[in-house]
C-alpha cells in the first residue's frame, strides 16, 4: 500500500483547520503510525481540548 499521499506537506497551518473542526470528534486531525504497526488517531476535538 502506498502511503505517499498521506504525508503532510512541509508547511501546513493546522491552527486554521483546528478552528473550523474543533467540535468534530469524528474527523481525524493527526494519524500517527510507526513501522511496527502501532498507530494513534487524534480527532480535532481531542486536539483542541488537550492542555
| CB hemisphere CA count around 30 (13 angstroms) | 12
Residue 42 lies in a domain: yes
- Does 9 score more than 80 pLDDT? no
Residue 2 lies in a domain: no
Q: Give the residue-averaged pLDDT of 35-45.
A: 93
Cα gap 48→37, rounded to integer Å: 26
Residue 31 lies in a domain: yes
Residue 1 lies in a domain: no
Residue 28 lies in a domain: yes
Cα gap 42→7, rounded to integer Å: 16
Which of 12, 16, 15, 17 lies closest to 28 in space, CA to CA? 17
Residue ranges of E strands in 1-51: 28-33, 39-43
Residue 17 lies in a domain: yes
pLDDT band at 12 (very low <50, low <70, confident <90, very high): confident
Q: What's the structural domain count of the chain?
A: 1
Amino acid at each position: 500500500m502506498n502511503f505517499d499521499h498521506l504525508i503532510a506537506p512541509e508547511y501546513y497551518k493546522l491552527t486554521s483547520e483546528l478552528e473550523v473542526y474543533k467540535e468534530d470528534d469524528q474527523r481525524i486531525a493527526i494519524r500517527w503510525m510507526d513501522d511496527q504497526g502501532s498507530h494513534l488517531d487524534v480527532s480535532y476535538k481531542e486536539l483542541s481540548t488537550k492542555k
